[in-house]
Chain A
Amino acid sequence: MTATVTPMVSVEGLVKVRSQSESVFELHVPRFTVLPGQMVAVVGESGCGKSTLLDILALVMVPTRVALFRIDPGGGPAWDVAALWEREDEGALARLRRDSFGYVLQTGGLLPFLSVRGNICLPGRLKGAEISAGRLEALSRRLGIEGCLERMPLSLSIGQRQRVAILRALAHRPRLLLADEPTAAVDKTRARTIMEDMRHLAVDEGVAVVVVTHDLDLVMDRADLAYTFETEQIGGQTTRSVCRPLAEASP
């Protein structure tokens, strides 16, 4: 990590307050940075706010307060996401999402009414850059799903679906890949290979990755940087969770 590289994602002083009936949950992110090409792991138990953080990073959840929230996809001006939220410029947020982001959901999040190929090609079409047959061929072979392209997602195994989801998230050459527990639904062995494949692909494509998981072991030796959460109960109803880099976190 060198200071001269412009971070792709810089977040400072982010607070998200969510309240559900009586209970209040506060997520504090004092500082969160992703450098280009970096793999960042966000590790924590369920309910610590890691999905909330990912949704905020994915631009589908508005932060309650944020001091700095910049995204610099490279090859153009950086986006002041805080300002976009301020303006409620959902169009620009959606555009940033489809041009620069890839997203892998816990259970793949494939559209069941499109074939595997249709799913993979959709982000490219939205971006206005059709994914070439050669690239699709090469990537699918690399993920071992070259035989499933014409099948419907429902006919695939969970592992295959996750691989398709990874391919869909990467095929349109995004700058940032957001993965939400991408291997939670498969067994440990398969989880490792999937995570490995994702990591390699991201490195090869030069894509920064933020991966959220509860399984520290799965990412420990692969991530460049890891964040975790300190959760404490303040008062009867309020839970506060602070996200810090793993090294700083108290054991």
Chain B
Amino acid sequence: MLKTRWAKALAFAACLAPIFLLAWRAYTQHLTANPIEFITRFTGTWTLRFVVFTLAVTPLRKLLGMPDLIRFRRMIGLFAFFYGTLHLITYIWLDKFFDTGEIWRDVLKRPFITAGFTAFVLMLPLAATSTAGWIRRMGGKRWQLLHRLVYVTGIAGVIHYYWLVKSDIREPAFYGALVGVLLLYRAAVAIRNRKPKPAVKRAAATS
């Protein structure tokens, strides 16, 4: 079922749902008394969610026994980039109104902006090399290595959120826990995969 074209179209529509929700809220004037802040928070939260979804694909394939989920990973990852771009545009346009001097001061001086900016910039090469052609050109191993940058994006995104809040850390802590679990899963897999190797070598040597 996951292999059909329809599944992909459905997933694509689902990934667009937040933007339609935002448009609906704008249309019905439910963007609160501070719409710019609301849009900033909304796009930021959805960026982080899509980064988490992207990171969840590999573990879920294994845990649910659904290897075909891989077909959706690129799309979900690109949607993380899409919402991240909207988030950045909101900041540059609506919040700072293209005041480049102010924006650079923010990026360099405000740690939470630095963290968010880092998280976004690291997504750029990933989005650019997301096609099958680039996997071929780079070679699977190198491509995979590059795309591990998404781990840094996840961590930087959580820090960005954590440094923003004043005292109620529940939400950033929640996303921090999700990213933490998803990265620990990978660490655990990496450690488990490393152990049998010497055994294989020894077996090879004795044969």
Answer whether A and B are interacting partners. no
- Which residues of chain B have a CB within 8 Å of any CB of chain A? none
